[in-house]
Amino acid sequence: METPNAPREVERLTFTEIAERIAERGYTPISKQRVAQLAHDSPDWPVPQEEWKKVGKAVQIPWDERLDTYFATRDTKSGPRGPRSGSTGPRDPDRVPDAEVAEALGIPIETVPRLHPRPRAKKWYRADLEEVRRNPPPWVGNAAAARAEAERLDAQSQRRRAALQRSQGTPDS
């Protein structure tokens, strides 16, 4: 039997889990690195470091109404692309949030934009997800393979950029 005045167990989340929670709730997605930056540097961050818990190399922060309110408020403020809609879902009904793609394909959320079937696209749509389900690449359902493929694609992209920069440079005469 639960005592009415007993303290409620607070859910503790890492920066990665906070980034995933933000996406799941329909707020503007941000990376775990950006969450960490906000937590350390933002004067508006609602959870003081005294409440953080160090677990190995990770930090766990209590997720409660303070963080929910912080990200909901932050999501409605104007940003570099203008005012945000404040809606709780993606703007385009055919757009699939990264968290949903990650869950559907069994891959880490941070690899989702990097493993898009159209190399220059970063946002997933229902048609993209269906295409990958019809013809699944080897990394579907395998986190290690998804990370390896994302790293391979990143390296390939960097090589292409470097080659383009060399080709646009001034020739030595």
Note the pLDDT of residue 139. 93
Per-residue pLDDT of the chain (173 residues), as tens digits, is 555 555 567 789 999 999 888 887 777 788 888 899 989 888 889 999 999 999 888 899 998 888 888 887 776 654 443 334 444 444 566 788 888 888 999 999 888 888 888 777 778 888 888 888 899 999 999 999 999 998 998 888 889 888 888 888 755 44
Note the pLDDT of residue 50. 93
DSSP 8-state class, residue 91 = S
Q: Please report, for the chain, how many H helices and E strands are present, in that order.
A: 6, 5
CB half-sphere exposure, 86, CA atoms < 13 A: 6
Burial call 96-117: b when 16+ CB within 10 Å, e when fewer: bbbbbbbeebebbbbbbbbbbe
